[in-house]
Amino acid sequence: MARYDRAITVFSPDGHLFQVEYALEAVRKGNAAVGVRGTDNVVLGVEKKSTAKLQDSRSVRKIVNLDNHIALACAGLKADARVLINRARVECQSHRLTVEDPCTVEYITRYIAGLQQKYTQSGGVRPFGLSTLIVGFDPYTGSPSLYQTDPSGTFSAWKANATGRNSNSIREFLEKNFKETAGQETVKLAIRALLEVVESGGKNIEVAVMTKEDGLRQLEEAEIDAIVAEIEAEKAAAEAAKKAPPKDT
Amino acid sequence: MKLDTSGLESFPSLILHGNDVAGEISAPPSFDLPNSNDFDGFLKEAIQMVKPAKGTTTLAFIFKEGVMVAADSRASMGGYISSQSVKKIIEINPYMLGTMAGGAADCQFWHRNLGIKCRLHELANKRRISVTGASKLLANILYSYRGMGLSVGTMIAGWDETGPGLYYVDSEGGRLKGTRFSVGSGSPYAYGVLDSGYKYDMSIEEASELARRAIYHATFRDGASGGVASVYYVGPTGWKKLSGDDVGELHYHYNPVTPSTTVEQEMVDAAAA
């Protein structure tokens, strides 16, 4: 088995591309990231490791803009992410230049996935070690979308998804609790999902909301704390209701 | 000089792209310029060779119901009329038309190529390309061949989600959005009729009559325009050819011969009176 992971362009006898699978491992070690699509907005949430005291936290933004109407969050190797994000930003502008129209979320996702795939089929390069969550609004239909790509270059659209550390538990939670929401409810759902695996508190999560009118808006720490407090209160109320003796009808 | 020859590629070469994955923008395939002592002179000669073919009249305008496109059908080489039945309105796809002025081969080839690109865009993006986008694609290709001797003066007319669209694109790399255009040696005459008769609120019949008349008048005065005046209409459901009338017949339609008294009869009447 060890012989088949030296060069990326080689299949193993049982049909695996080991480098791609190792890249997925790198993703699994990265920070948790969650995305939830609402009816009028899309929310991205990322786990934030506690920043060192001397570090300027504003320089480590994990949720970035690709264009006015498209944003991206990722899990995995952050240096690879920077390269991919830069290429995607250039492609967004290039599309605007050649067709005089902003690109759709699907287009840029296809481009990023295509780029990730290219690096799985060339000599002397390794795949990008990250999975991305791409959100945005379609400039023609105005509908919100959420897409996910991974190191193998596959992509698909989701109603809600998670990637990175403990993404399986987050996805389970989302599958159990997802319903069509709008506005603040979507934000709450995203934060609730993230809180399943992250210590609660505004310091440890970064949340951003994308709306059609206002584009991407990063939530302030105070706002996040307020929502977390709401969620905790709701949880406590639900617990109390369960513990109370059942009323006779 | 590196040209944008992406228009000539039918399938992207996988082998070619494999080598420059690490680079930011892969260099397109290129070809050498012709070896000649006097490149400027060569260029001028090349342009002169195709110049006579710009003897033509084409026009297009946007009105309330959509876009009206019309053209003549004469090809001339100096004083020799080489054809009276050239199709100067090119069907790029069911909802977009292009007009031909300048080098016939250049226009035909690049319009066909544009049709390919539009279809590929549709397949990749699951939506039709806009007239803006299509004209931009053509303009970018023509710009990259700037100075190489292409002779194309075309109008891209179509209907997309934003409504009717009309762009003028030429081989100098220019691209203009507008509501009324006429291209070719007969265009001054056509403009005269078109501009004086144009109203935005015309019906399809009125607009097609205006277009037909404008082409007729251009063919009447311009020796390099003639043949058949074709009129196409582009609406929300795509383009439709409305008419193709021989301009000779149109002349007598607009200037009917009134049956007048013969000279002998006049003389008899005068004697009587």
- What is the tens place of the pLDDT at every residue in B60-117? 999 999 999 999 999 887 788 889 999 999 998 899 999 988 888 888 899 999 999 9
Beta-carbon contacts of residue A234 (< 8 Å; ≥ 6 apart)? none
Which domain, by its residues, includes A159?
A: 32-49+57-227
| Residue A104 within any structural domain of the chain | yes
Instruction: Give the H or E element holding residue B239.
Output: strand B238-246
Alpha carbon of B16: minimum distance to chain A alpha carbons (Å): 11
Q: How many CA atoms lie within 13 A of B232 on its CB side?
A: 26
Residues shown for chain B: 273
In chain A, the percentage of residues whose pLDDT exceeds 90 is 62
Per-residue CA distances from B11 to A71, A228, A238, B5, B139 (Å): 32, 53, 60, 12, 22
Note whether A99 contacts B125, CB cutoff 8 Å: no
Alpha carbon of A133: minimum distance to chain B alpha carbons (Å): 20
Q: Note the pLDDT tens digit of each residue in B12-61.
A: 443 344 444 544 455 677 767 777 788 778 777 766 665 544 688 999 99
| Residue A10 within any structural domain of the chain | no
Chain B neighbors of A104, CB-CB under 8 A: 125
State whether residue B251 is helix, strand or coil.
helix
| Residue A135, pLDDT score | 96
| Residue A14 within any structural domain of the chain | no
Structure tokens at A29: 């070690």
Positions of B marked catalytic: 56
**Closest partner CB to B22 (pick from A98, A100, A125):** A125
Comparing alpha-carbon positions, the chain B residue that sits nearest to A84 is B24
pLDDT confidence band for B273 (50 / 70 / 90): low
Question: What is the arithmetic mean of pLDDT over A157-164?
Answer: 95
Answer whether A4's CB lies under 8 Å from A10's CB. Answer: yes
| Residue B189, pLDDT score | 95
Note whether B161 contacts A140, CB cutoff 8 Å: yes
| A141 reaches B (C-beta below 8 A) | no
Q: Note the pLDDT tens digit of each residue in B110-161.
A: 999 999 999 999 998 888 899 999 999 999 999 999 888 888 999 999 999 8
- CA nearest B59: which of B176, B152, B155? B155
Note whether B125 contacts A100, CB cutoff 8 Å: no
pLDDT confidence band for B260 (50 / 70 / 90): confident
Alpha carbon of B132: minimum distance to chain A alpha carbons (Å): 7
Amino acid, res. A164: G
| Residue B38, pLDDT score | 82
For residue A155, pLDDT over 90 is answered with yes
Comparing alpha-carbon positions, the chain B residue that sits nearest to A140 is B161
Answer whether B156's CB lies under 8 Å from B189's CB. Answer: no
Question: What is the arithmetic mean of pLDDT over A82-95?
Answer: 95
| Residue B1, pLDDT score | 53
- Interface TM-score (ipTM) > 0.85: no
Question: What is the arithmetic mean of pLDDT over B243-247?
Answer: 93
| A140 reaches B (C-beta below 8 A) | yes
Comparing alpha-carbon positions, the chain A residue that sits nearest to B24 is A87
* Mean pLDDT for chain A overall: 89
Alpha carbon of A10: minimum distance to chain B alpha carbons (Å): 15
How far from chain centre, in Å, is Cα B205? 22
**Closest partner CB to B132 (pick from A100, A104, A123):** A100
| Residue A54, pLDDT score | 84
- CA nearest B171: which of B97, B110, B92, B93? B110
Chain A neighbors of B133, CB-CB under 8 A: 98-101
Q: Note the pLDDT tens digit of each residue in B216-234.
A: 999 999 999 999 999 999 9
Vertex A236 angle, CA A234 and A239, to 5° = 110
Alpha carbon of A203: minimum distance to chain B alpha carbons (Å): 37
| Residue A1 within any structural domain of the chain | no
Beta-carbon contacts of residue A189 (< 8 Å; ≥ 6 apart)? A36, A43, A160, A174, A177, A178, A181
Structure tokens at B167: 């762009």
Chain B neighbors of A119, CB-CB under 8 A: 21
Instruction: Give the H or E element holding residue B59.
Output: strand B58-63
A–B CB contacts, 8 A cutoff, strictly below: 35
For residue A244, pLDDT over 80 is answered with no
Amino acid, res. A246: P
Note whether B132 contacts A101, CB cutoff 8 Å: yes
Chain B neighbors of A100, CB-CB under 8 A: 130, 132-133, 136
| Residue A64, pLDDT score | 93
pLDDT confidence band for A191 (50 / 70 / 90): very high
Answer whether B86's CB lies under 8 Å from B104's CB. Answer: yes
For residue B259, pLDDT over 80 is answered with no
For A22-79, the DSSP string reads HHHHHHHHS--EEEEE-SSEEEEEEE-PPPPTTS-GGGG--EEEEETTEEEEEEE-HH
Q: Which of B13, B21, B143 to mutate to test the interface with A (most CBs of A within 10 A)?
A: B21
Per-residue CA distances from A81 to A31, A106, A131, A167 (Å): 13, 19, 9, 19
Identify residues of B whose CB sits under 8 angstroms from chain A CBs: 17-18, 21-22, 24, 124-127, 129-130, 132-133, 136-137, 140, 161
Answer whether A167's CB lies under 8 Å from A131's CB. Answer: no
Chain A neighbors of B137, CB-CB under 8 A: 98-99
In chain B, the percentage of residues whose pLDDT exceeds 90 is 59
Q: Note the pLDDT tens digit of each residue in B81-97.
A: 889 999 999 998 899 99
| Residue A114 within any structural domain of the chain | yes
For residue B11, pLDDT over 60 is answered with no
Answer whether B70's CB lies under 8 Å from B212's CB. Answer: yes
State whether residue B99 is helix, strand or coil.
strand
- Give the span between the Cα atoms of A121 and A118, in whole angstroms: 5
Note whether B125 contacts A118, CB cutoff 8 Å: no
Q: How many CA atoms lie within 13 A of B136 on its CB side?
A: 13
Q: Note the pLDDT tens digit of each residue in A221-240.
A: 889 989 999 998 988 898 99
Structure tokens at A221: 């720490």
- CA nearest B7: which of B97, B138, B172? B138
The residue ranges of DSSP E strands in A189-232, in sequence order, are 205-211, 215-218
For residue A14, pLDDT over 60 is answered with yes
How many C-beta atoms surround the C-beta of residue A171 within 10 A? Answer: 18
Note whether A99 contacts B132, CB cutoff 8 Å: yes
Q: Which of A91, A101, A104 to mutate to test the interface with B (most CBs of B within 10 A)?
A: A101
| Residue B23, pLDDT score | 45
| Residue B17, pLDDT score | 43
Structure tokens at A242: 């369960």
Question: What is the arithmetic mean of pLDDT over A51-78?
Answer: 87
How many C-beta atoms surround the C-beta of residue A75 within 10 A? Answer: 29
* Residue A13 φ then ψ, to 5°: -60, -30
State whether residue A136 is helix, strand or coil.
strand
Note whether B18 contacts A121, CB cutoff 8 Å: yes
Q: Note the pLDDT tens digit of each residue in B185-220.
A: 999 999 999 999 999 999 999 999 999 999 999 999
Dihedral over Cα of A107, A110, A115, A116: its sign: positive
Beta-carbon contacts of residue A80 (< 8 Å; ≥ 6 apart)? A128, A129, A130
CATH of residue A105: 3.60.20.10
| Residue B218, pLDDT score | 96
| Residue A153 within any structural domain of the chain | yes
| Residue A81 within any structural domain of the chain | yes
Amino acid, res. B28: P
Strands B153-160 and A33-37: unpaired
Chain A neighbors of B117, CB-CB under 8 A: none
Strands A160-163 and A33-37: antiparallel
Chain B neighbors of A106, CB-CB under 8 A: 125-126
Question: What is the arithmetic mean of pLDDT over A54-83?
Answer: 89
| Residue A112 within any structural domain of the chain | yes
The total domain count for chain A is 1
